[in-house]
Structure 1
Amino acid sequence: MTSKRWRGFEFRNYPIAYKLIVSYTLLTALPLLLLVYISYTQYARSVEEQIGEYMPRFLYQANADVGKHIDELTTLPEILFNSDSILAILRRTSYTQRSELNRDQYAMNSYLARTYTNGRNADVLGVFVVSNDRLFSSSKLNFKETDWSRTITDYAAGIEPSGKVRIILPDEIDVQFESDVPYVFMLQQINDVDNRKYLGTMLIAVDLSFIDDIVRNFEKNARADLWVMNPSGKIIYHTNRHLIGSEDKDVAKYPTLNGSFRTNATGQDRLVSVNQTTDRGWILLHSIPLRDLTERTDLVRNVTVFVLIGIIILTSVIGVIISYSMTRPLKKLTGLMKTVEMGDFQVDLKVQRGDEVGMLARSFNSMIATIRDLIQQNYQIEIRQKNAELYALQSQINPHFMYNTLETIGMAVEEGETEVVVDMVTLLGRMLRFSVSNQSKFVTIAEEVQHVRDYLTIQKFRFEDRVSFEIVHHMNENDFHTLFIPKFILQPIVENSIKYGLETRKTLEIHIAVSEEFGARSGKRDVVLRIRDNGPGIPPDRVIELEQSLKKSSLESRSSHFGLVNVNARIVMMHGADYGLQLHSIVGKGTEIMIRIPMTRGEAISNAND
């Protein structure tokens, strides 16, 4: 009885396909896979050890280069003593007239600009001298804080006199530039050597971006991190600018400050190399995922494994085909395959067998189900891609109008028009809120009109009587505040009017009208926006070329009328070819652009956003 049961489990009683797979796996696949695994493990370990040994040396050299550059910058305060007139200003302790103070302010600020911030020293962001409750300054960047001058003055007043140059982090002074560049302050006490008196304090804001050039020589991996911090863990420089100013709380847990070690603090195995300077105590760290060190080996390993799996599958299929005759199931399978070729994927090969034929039937059914899933996935991908393109078209406009707006505010600041600057900043703030607060692709007509009104008002401040505008609407007030249109469709067109109109016209007049009209192509009541100017107009051949660009479904280049093409492309992609831009222009008379959009309510917008 036992002998019969054992014979029932003999290897020769199993299917031939199973025998071939088992035999091939035992004799070929398993040894090869084992060899690949051992080779990969040994190589990965060797690479990790080599990087862990050599990277601290590179960091030592980079740290030395950084320190050398900082030492060169610490000599900058000495230049101040080369000018007798500047020292005379610093020695002065009182003024009988306000004009004398203003004259000294101008002379000192001009000297600081010429000497430090006007191109000679690319790494200097700003220079600030505090002397006898006076602040002299020259800066390439603006501070975020409005009372920065008082903050710097108070900080300088609380510093104990010292003859050495001190490195001050921005958070110690509690001021921050508007730009995200990494920087530190170098503080130097100004002493009158001749009279042995304390004249003031000098702070130089130094751009640490030069570290990028130093570390780029030995690290080009985009996923590697490199940062500099002080002994307490305060990050002074980081390849990820958003982490500058934060703290590395794990610095106390580092097993070494001059060497390499593995860590999994972020949930990912990384190799960290560290080097600390002996003079300032700054710590330079390099962190890279371990898998990036063996990226090429991983590729070879994966290819080898896939080839082995392919050989195993191929050998198994051949064994199955040779071992069994599957005439009837294959004929049925052939018929179903022809059905699939005609585009009908709703098929099912029903074979209720437990052998290889049944396995083939189940594999076929699984393949068809996978194809159906892939078709559905590709359809969803196409829809998402279209939405992504719509978002890209909209976001490309923002830098265009922001640049012009900031330039206008800068001109007003230079002219000292305080009230105008306040009004312009208020308008800019509203424009920024409009840009970033609403992530939808649609806004109400009233919101879009208010946005372009703010833009034109800023341009009015800039060009004064050279620009005049009028905005009217001939529609129901409720519709004006409840109907939705695509976001940022008016400003690009108005920008073009101002750009080309002011080149040839002393006075540019812009008229914007919003109305409801019947659309011949759509057959419905549509929203129509007309933007008319008295600019130079567009030549007929250029009008034809531009109309052809508007008919294209994609943006091929950033032409001079990129804004018009952008707006038209977004409207067509959102609402169809019956809507978009129409252009009418007469050379020497002006240009009128008509935007036609369907009347869209809030319910449709909610569905579109979902």
Structure 2
Amino acid sequence: MIRRGKREGETAASAAKTRYMPFGYKLMFSYMALTLVPVLLFGYFANSILVESVRKQTSGSVQTALRQMKDNIEYRMKDTVRLSDMIYYDNAIAARLRHYESGWYSYESTTQYVQPKFESVLKATNRRIWLSVYLRNETLSEVYSMYGNTDPLTYAGQSFDVYHLRRIADRPWYRAFPPERYGETMQWRQVERDEEFGNISLLRRLVDTSMIGRQQSDFGFIRLTVKLSDLFETVVPDFGEGTSVRIDDADGRTLFATGGSEAGMASADGEERYLTVEEPLHGDDWRLVARIPKAWIEKDALKVKLLTVAIGSVCFLLFLVVGAVLSRYFARRVTRIVTVLESFRHGDFRRRIRFKGRDEFQTISQSINSMAEHIDELIRQVYVTSLKKKEAELEALQAQINPHFLYNTLSSISRLAKFGRVEQLHRMVSDLASFYRLSLNEGRTIIPIANELEQAKAYLDIQKAKYVDRLGVLFEVEPELLRYETVKLILQPFLENVLKHAWCGDRVHIRVTGRRVGTDIEFRIIDDGVGMTRDTLQRITAHDRREGETGYGVYNVHQRILLHYGKPYGIAIHSRLGVGTTVVIRIPCVLRSAPEKTDASAEAG
């Protein structure tokens, strides 16, 4: 009880050291909030509106510019498609290309029809372009140039080559080409070495138009290659310093990028510093993306921010001075009251306070002085009464040890004497004497943990004489715990409950463990008995001392631990029907105050 009172005193002292905001500061900050906050809010909303306006204006301008770029790009793409249409829809050249006849006919078709047609396609534009035609008809000769490791567009400017289709039959990009829809199926892709040379190709099949409406068959493949820089020539980031523009394909890869130090890269960690504007391109397959630094957009808004901060700082300093003067004027009497109350909080009720004048503060001071005199005397009386009450409750609780234990033990001793089992009789009488010697413990409430364990073992030894092999017991206690002390009789009541209620069949095993957990000690009493239902467990752990429900075991031990150590400690029960029950007892680590007598000296005494 004394130790608990000391702990409560330390808690109160710790609480007394807690800092708080003085009343004068509250007055000052309230005044400042009424004046400074509106200014800050006005500046914040003005800045937000300006930034949003600039951002929308910039976004609209960029969107318009991107649409112009999009129109120019799509015009060049359509111009390339137009060149492929000159071959795709030409039935005469198609008839020559799919006619299988070698010799003079093949030579004539190549020189008189095929090559002139391809040359006319190249002459229909002034852009650099490379036409590659792949034919299934291998009776027509291949016509191509040797470019080595050079870019065909750089090497020849405008040129065409004719190959047999087997050259690309196994290429992944050709095998993945989508099914033919006449007049619609085509792809813009970077194939072969296009990405290396900065090119892109328009890919398209050559189909037999005579089979329209029926199953179509392709007789060739067209590849028109152009420079990315020519196709996207109009993509110019002229929106301001640090801006960039890029074109991403359907897979998110960047085909072309220009401007800015991060051109062509979707920087994930830098996206918050940029305003990103997108425009769909080539249907919805490509994206035209412009990135403009927000710092460049918001450079005018920065001036407003700085002005707002300057005004807010001046107001803050001004209000700080005014608030300090006002708070000191109004809070001086409150501070004196708080000082006296703080002394009361520390247990010093001798301080008094007096104010001049006839106002509310003078009435408060008289009431506080009168209250202090009465509280000082009342605390002394209540504290002493509370200590005596708790000690009486503790003694009453400890007096509730089940008397049937003594009766049952004496009955067992009588049976042993009747049947002449002297050795067992002697051992049981010794265990009973040891049990009650440790229970009485010279009237002390606090005992060494070693004595508590010895008493529990004596109790179980007495029960083993009754149950013999039907009772299994195992103690697993860390030797370190023997240095500490505990409230007595916290293990035996639960061992008794196991033997009363936990039998499942004709055997039961009990395991008692003890270990240190941080600054606490934790005992566990584990059995493999019948267990408890959820309703029974809830009723027991409620710690209500209803007659016939919780009995001695739970209520007595829990209350004694609470009375001595406080609410953080006590018992907890875990049980499953058909599995067993575990009782967890938690107490603080308290070193033994003085060495105890040895068992030999105790018995001698």
TM-score, normalized by length of structure 2?
0.36
| Structure showing greater Rg | 2
